[in-house]
Amino acid sequence: MLKSIIKVALAGIAGSLVAATVQAGPLAERIEAGEPIRLGFAAAPPWAYPGEDGSAQGFVNGITIDVLKKMGYTNIEPVLTDWSALIPSVNANRVDIVTGGMYVLPARCANMDFSDPIGAFGDVFLVPAGNPKGIETYQDLIDQDLTMVATAGYNTIADAKAAGVPDSKVMVVPDSTAALAALRAGRADALATTILEANDMAGKADGIEVTDPDAFTGRKKQVVAVGFRPADDDFRQDFNKALAGYIGSDEMMETVAADGYVDTYLPGDASTQQACQAD
**Domain containing residue 85: CATH number:** 3.40.190.10
- Examine residue 255 and state whether it is found in any structural domain, yes or no: yes
- Examine residue 5 and state whether it is found in any structural domain, yes or no: no
Q: Look at 87 and 222; give whichever has higher pLDDT.
A: 87
**Residue 238 and residue 202 share a domain:** no
Q: Is the per-residue pLDDT at 40 higher than 70?
A: yes
**Residue 54 and residue 174 share a domain:** no
- Examine residue 17 and state whether it is found in any structural domain, yes or no: no
**Residue 233 and residue 197 share a domain:** no
**pLDDT for the residue numbered 23:** 46
**Residue 239 and residue 204 share a domain:** no
Of 184, 210, 236, which residue is a domain's last? Answer: 210
Q: How buried is 181 (Cβ within 10 angstroms: 0-12 exposed, 13-18 middle, 19+ buried)?
A: middle
Query: By C-alpha distance, which of 83, 188, 200 is closest to 135?
Result: 188
Number of domains composing the chain: 2
- Report d(CA 178, CA 161) in Å as an integer: 20
Task: Kindly state the average pLDDT of the residues 35-52.
Answer: 96
**Percent of the chain whose predicted confidence (pLDDT) is above 70:** 91
- Examine residue 215 and state whether it is found in any structural domain, yes or no: no
- Report d(CA 47, CA 194) in Å as an integer: 10
- Examine residue 100 and state whether it is found in any structural domain, yes or no: yes
- Examine residue 217 and state whether it is found in any structural domain, yes or no: no
Residue-range definition of the domain harbouring residue 145? 123-210
**Residue 109 and residue 144 share a domain:** no
Entry field: residues in the chain:
279
Cα 201 to chain centroid, rounded? 18
Instruction: Reduce the secondary structure of 84-124 to three states and give it as a string.
Output: HHHHHHHHCCCCCEEEEEEECCHHHHCCCEECCCCEEECEE
Do residues 164 and 142 touch, judged by C-beta distance below 8 A?
A: yes
Looking at mean pLDDT, say which of 2-16, 17-31, 187-201, 216-230 comes out highest. 187-201
**Residue 269 and residue 199 share a domain:** no
- Report d(CA 255, CA 246) in Å as an integer: 11
Distances (CA, A) of 181 to 30, 193, 209, 275: 39, 14, 14, 32
**Residue 102 and residue 170 share a domain:** no
**Residue 245 and residue 234 share a domain:** yes
DSSP states of 174-208 as a string?
SSHHHHHHHHHTTS-SEEEEEHHHHHHHHHHSTTE
Q: Which of 12-21, 52-61, 111-120, 148-157 has the lowest mean pLDDT?
A: 12-21
**pLDDT for the residue numbered 279:** 66
Which of 207-226 are b and which e, b meaning 16 or more Cβ less than 10 Å from the residue's Cβ? ebebbebeebebbeebbbbb
Of 186, 210, 234, which residue is a domain's last? Answer: 210
- Examine residue 130 and state whether it is found in any structural domain, yes or no: yes
- Examine residue 14 and state whether it is found in any structural domain, yes or no: no
**Residue 272 and residue 140 share a domain:** no
**pLDDT for the residue numbered 17:** 37
**Residue 206 and residue 132 share a domain:** yes
Q: pTM value?
A: 0.77
Of 157, 175, 210, which residue is a domain's last? Answer: 210
Amino acid at 222: Q
Task: Give the chain's mean pLDDT.
Answer: 90
**Percent of the chain whose predicted confidence (pLDDT) is above 90:** 84
**Residue 242 and residue 114 share a domain:** yes
**How is residue 77 annotated by DSSP?**
E
**Residue 206 and residue 128 share a domain:** yes
Q: Look at 15 and 257; give whichever has higher pLDDT.
A: 257
> pLDDT band for position 221 (50/70/90)?
confident
Q: Is the per-residue pLDDT at 220 higher than 90?
A: no
**pLDDT for the residue numbered 278:** 83
pLDDT digits (tens, 9 = 90+) for 94-145: 999 999 999 999 999 999 999 999 999 989 999 999 999 999 999 999 999 9
